[in-house]
Amino acid sequence: MARRALITGITGQDGSYLAEHLLDQGYDVWGLVRGQANPRVSRVRRLLQDVQLVRGDLLDQGSLISAVERVQPDEVYNLGAISFVPMSWEQAELTAEVTGMGVLRMLEAIRVCSGITASRTPGSGQIRFYQASSSEMFGQVRETPQNERTPFHPRSPYGVAKAYGHFLTQNYRESYGMFAVSGILFNHESPRRGAEFVTRKVTLGAARIKLGLATELRLGNLSARRDWGYAGDYVRAMRLMLQAPVPEDYVIGTGRTQSVRELVIAAFEAAQLDWERYVVADQALHRPAEVDLLCADPKKARVQLGWEPTVSFEELVAMMVEADLRLLSEGADPEQDSSWP
């Protein structure tokens, strides 16, 4: 019988790629969707016709229990979150509730539906659980590159909420023997990335300028460095973690780091533009506390899971610029639901 997966955050970037990957692998895929008239649900329905939808919200414990009871999943991927770091300062409590406490509610839904009441043999739980942890937990980094043993020093309410979810996932594994793992994923991007994140903001900005739709691009801290990979590669790692014989946490990244300035140069080069004529550095876009440098050491995932990224930074940026040029040339509005290639 096909394995059955439940994905929270199905309307987001990773949810879409993970759903496609799991469908390819022969899974029955269910997505948790929230809200009464969420416009992003129609995008999922159009792109992912074989995914079944179930209503629920990470803020609502009962809805998660009902969803798990209805779907009877073998695997749960908890990707739902408030994921835009600047928003986590503006709505810190909501971020704690969704991105942090949402993990507790999802784990509790699995625990209750599995009838787990006391400690069990490690890994004996029926439902395998993946938590979308983040390199933002490393924050002000203690060492470079960062691996599974690097201590956390989060720099935003988002990073703090993710650290809570991360430790809770470990705790449910240790307390109840649940097969619960965290993927500590570094930044990963794609043509489906939200327009507010810096890679997409830059590739859309370059495409708009190229097509005469804009005359400048305002950005914040150009010196921040990130380890950027391709989302399609990273969702493969999520599934592999849940197929491992033993539940463990893994760092997923490329092992390379680039600055926002290097990202801008690559994107404008791909659009055949001179970036210095168009990019405006805007102090107002700097964050209250910045994460200056992230760079993954993905050796454990390579050795134990056989996972490797396949798309380089340069290929990723070129792919995104090309997709945005096409999208805008077709007259699509990237801020609207029609914008998923």
Candidate list 16, 63, 133, 134, residue with the active-site label: 134
- Phi, psi of 222, rounded to the nearest 5 degrees: -80, -10
Q: Cα 8 to chain center, whole Å? A: 11
Catalytic residue flag (residue 133): no
Shortest distance, CB of residue 68 to ligand F7E, whole angstroms?
Answer: 25
Cα gap 147→167, rounded to integer Å: 16
Strand pairing category for 229-230 and 279-281: unpaired
Least separation in angstroms between CB 94 and ligand F7E: 15
Q: Which residue has tokens 């509790």?
A: 108
Identify the residue among 61, 187, 190, 339 touching ligand F7E (CB under 6 A): 187
Among the candidate windows 4-12, 19-27, 199-207, 307-315, which touches ligand NAP by CB under 6 A? 4-12
Query: x/- contact string, 202-241, with ligand NAP (CB under 6 A)?
Result: ----------------------------------------
> Can you tell me which residue has the tokens 């004996």?
124
- State the minimum distance, in angstroms, from the CB of residue 69 to ligand F7E: 29
The site that binds ligand F7E (CB under 6 A) totals a number of residues, namely 21
According to the binding rule CB under 6 A, does residue 34 interact with ligand NAP? yes
Identify the residue whose tokens are 């406490």. 101
| Min separation Cβ 154 and ligand F7E, Å | 10
Among positions 68-97, residues that touch ligand F7E (CB under 6 A) are 83, 85
Map the footprint of ligand NAP across residues 135-194, applying CB under 6 A.
185, 187-188, 194
**What is the spatial distance between Cα 104 and Cα 101, in angstroms, rounded to a whole number?**
5
Instruction: Check residue 198 for interaction with ligand F7E (CB under 6 A).
Output: yes
Helix (H, G, I), strand (E, B), or coil: what is residue 15?
A: helix
Binding test (CB under 6 A) with ligand NAP, winner from 3, 21, 40, 120: 40
**Which residue carries 């692998």 as its tokens?**
25
Using CB under 6 A, pick the residue from 23, 87, 240, 285 that binds ligand F7E. Answer: 285
Catalytic-residue membership of 322: no
**CB atoms near residue 339 (< 10 Å):** 18
Whether 248 is catalytic is no
CA 278, 284, 290, 296: dihedral to nearest 10 degrees? Answer: -30
Q: How far is CA 127 from CA 106, 109, 123, 216, 269, in A?
A: 12, 11, 9, 49, 47
- Cα 150 to Cα 139, 146, 168, 255: the distances in Å are 11, 6, 18, 15
* Shortest distance (Å) from residue 216 CB to ligand NAP: 26
Question: Which whole-number Å values give the CA distances from 277 to 33, 268, 281, 316, in the listed order?
Answer: 43, 10, 12, 23
- Assign 1 to helix, strand or coil: coil
Which of ligand F7E, ligand NAP, none has residue 224 at its interface (CB below 5 to 8 Å by kind)?
Answer: ligand F7E
What is residue 44's three-state secondary structure? Answer: helix
β-pairing, 52-55 vs 75-78, is: unpaired
Closest contact distance (angstroms) between CB of 38 and ligand F7E is: 19
Distance CA 44, CA 79 (A): 15
- 197 near ligand F7E (CB under 6 A): yes
Q: Could you say which of ligand NAP, ligand F7E, none residue 63 binds, taking C-beta under 5 to 8 angstroms by partner kind?
A: none
Residues in the site for ligand F7E, rule: CB under 6 A?
A: 83, 85, 134-136, 186-187, 196-198, 201, 219-221, 224, 226, 260, 285, 287, 290-291
Residues in the site for ligand NAP, rule: CB under 6 A?
A: 8-15, 34-35, 38, 40, 57-59, 79-83, 98, 132, 134, 185, 187-188, 194
Annotated catalytic residues are 134, 136, 158
